[in-house]
């Protein structure tokens, strides 16, 4: 490969990294818009800290856990050491024919931070900020890269006779975040008054949530398109089209299902339908034909509506719908690989089930243990008084939409 081709491939991966970075702004807008005004600063604070935590922990330990190279033990675990350790190369040999070592790191680091961001919305409005940040450090630094190594790092799921397939992370990013989100909602319990008769707990800014969803859709082209790991025009074009079609079909599926249930045009459901379609198509965006992407997205959009209502019936309180979007549709998109498309078949379907169950068991177990330990030590949930007043005032001393004059009452010298 000549120098100009290498530059093009590497540049595209760096641009894709920037698009994934923009998704954090999308998550911030979506989660803030779908929660109550009195907790807006708290949501934005978490979504500001998570990318930084993701970058730092992934640089310190995560990247070397996820890509341990020949040091992996039985395809299950491996660790090359702390910090960014570039493999030793012979003179004149590139790290990769398409990108540099540091380009791969920064792209993968953006994925890692996304997993923790998914958890943020599900546990919103009642978790202590310090406890959430501790969980995010442990989850991004340990759990995410270890299960990611099982496939993307050449681990045991990639070594099955019919390898488990997940192109850009329906399971390895979205469901990984979704399992932690489910654990958090179950352990925390619902918000005070959430399921009382006549209670209104809707989001305070649907315009902000809408902007957030479109930023996420925009960033998803980098999330999926960058996962090609080259600027191959045919493959990147295929992934772009499948990504767009999946999101559009998810929107339609959620619209049809929500209208059939309520006879109302529910914007919140449609917004989550877009994300559901995108999550559903992510596992197979590089192999699906357009028709497959449409079916994956359409079903995903319907599923997000059904499971949102089911969770409310079970009194599992997820303010932003993170579990239906990322966990349910992440599982659906992963299983869809074995159900239709070029890879469909019984052997592939069994591999998809194996990966889904193994990763789900590991992530759910890790999350429950860590959340329980935090609850026993630091405490997990804010006090009822703080929750009712809102976390912005108590934990941050700030409000999102008003300026308050905090006067200092210094002693006057005699």
Is 367 a member of any domain? Answer: yes
Looking at the domain assignment, is residue 406 inside a domain?
A: no
How far apart CA 135 and CA 186 sit, in angstroms, is 15
Residue 410 lies inside a defined structural domain of this protein? no
When the pLDDT of each residue in the chain is averaged and rounded to a whole number, the result is 93
φ/ψ of 225, rounded to 5, equals -65, -35
Q: What is the CATH number of the domain that holds 354?
A: 1.10.3430.10
199 — pLDDT class (breaks 50, 70, 90):
confident
* Average pLDDT estimate for 25-45: 96
Domain membership of residue 402 (yes or no) is no
Beta carbons within 8 Å of 354's beta carbon, 6+ residues apart: 157, 160, 164
User: What are the pLDDT digits (tens) for 204-245?
Assistant: 999 999 999 999 999 999 999 999 999 999 999 999 999 999
Kindly indicate the confidence band of residue 188, based on its pLDDT and cuts at 50, 70 and 90.
very high
Within a domain: 357:
yes
Does pTM top 0.85 for this prediction? Answer: yes
Q: What is the pLDDT of residues 142-170, one digit of tens each?
A: 999 999 999 999 999 999 999 999 999 99
- Structural domain boundaries, residue 102: 3-396
Token pair in block for residue 193: 């008054």
pLDDT in tens, 300-338: 999 999 999 999 999 999 999 999 999 999 999 999 999
- Residue 257 backbone phi and psi in degrees, to 5: -65, -45
Question: Is residue 403 included in any domain, yes or no?
Answer: no
User: Would residue 192 count as lying in a domain?
Assistant: yes
Quick check: is 177 in a domain? yes
CA atoms within 13 A on the CB side of 370: 24
- Using the predicted structure, report yes or no on whether residue 366 has a pLDDT greater than 90: yes
Q: Which long-range contacts (CB under 8 A, 24 or more apart) does 380-383 make?
A: 380/127, 380/128, 380/131, 380/187, 380/188, 381/126, 381/127, 381/128, 381/188, 381/189, 382/126, 382/127, 382/128
Q: Which of 161, 150, 173, 159 is nearest to 346 (CA)?
A: 161
The answer on pLDDT for 277 being more than 80 is yes
Domains in the chain, number: 1
195 by DSSP, 3-state: which? Answer: coil
pLDDT of residue 202: 86
- As a whole number of angstroms, the longest Cα–Cα distance in the chain is 86
Half-sphere CA count of 162, side-chain side, radius 13 A? 15
Mean pLDDT of the 233-262 span = 97
């Amino acid at each position: 490969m000549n120098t100009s081709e290498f530059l093009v491939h590497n540049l595209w991966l760096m641009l894709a990294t920037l698009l994934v970075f923009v998704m954090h702004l999308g998550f911030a807008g979506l989660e803030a818009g779908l929660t109550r005004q009195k907790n807006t600063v708290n949501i934005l604070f978490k979504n500001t800290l998570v990318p930084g935590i993701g970058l730092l922990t992934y640089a310190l330990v995560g990247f070397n856990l996820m890509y341990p190279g020949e040091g992996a033990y039985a395809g299950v675990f491996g660790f090359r050491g702390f910090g960014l350790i570039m493999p030793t190369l012979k003179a004149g040999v590139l790290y990769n024919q398409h990108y540099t070592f540091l380009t791969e790191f920064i792209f993968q680091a953006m994925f890692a931070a996304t997993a923790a961001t998914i958890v943020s919305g599900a546990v919103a409005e009642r978790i202590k900020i310090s406890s959430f940040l501790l969980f995010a450090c442990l989850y991004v630094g340990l759990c995410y890269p270890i299960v990611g190594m099982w496939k993307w790092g050449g681990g045991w799921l990639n070594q099955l006779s019919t390898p488990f397939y997940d192109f850009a992370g329906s399971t390895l990013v979205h469901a990984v975040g979704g399992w932690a989100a489910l654990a958090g909602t179950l352990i925390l319990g619902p918000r005070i008054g959430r399921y009382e008769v006549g209670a209104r707990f809707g989001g305070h800014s649907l315009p902000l949530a809408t902007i957030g969803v479109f930023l996420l859709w925009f960033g998803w082209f980098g999330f999926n398109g960058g996962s090609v790991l080259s600027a191959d025009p045919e493959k990147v074009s295929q992934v772009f089209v499948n990504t767009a079609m999946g999101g559009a079909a998810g929107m339609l599926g959620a619209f049809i299902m929500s209208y059939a249930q309520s006879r109302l045009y529910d914007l919140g459901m449609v917004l989550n339908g877009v994300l559901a379609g995108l999550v559903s198509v992510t596992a197979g965006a590089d192999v699906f034909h357009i028709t497959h992407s449409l079916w994956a997205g359409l079903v995903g959009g319907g599923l997000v509506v059904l499971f949102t209502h089911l969770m409310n019936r079970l009194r599992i309180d997820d303010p932003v719908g993170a579990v239906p979007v990322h966990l349910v549709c992440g599982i659906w998109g992963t299983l869809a690989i074995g159900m239709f498309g070029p890879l469909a078949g019984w052997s592939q379907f069994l591999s998809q089930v194996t990966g889904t169950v193994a990763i789900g068991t590991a992530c759910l177990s890790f999350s429950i243990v860590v959340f329980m330990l935090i609850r026993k030590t630091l405490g997990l949930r804010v006090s009822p008084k703080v929750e009712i007043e809102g976390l912005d005032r108590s934990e941050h001393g700030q409000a999102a939409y008003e300026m308050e004059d905090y006067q200092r009452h210094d002693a006057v010298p005699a």
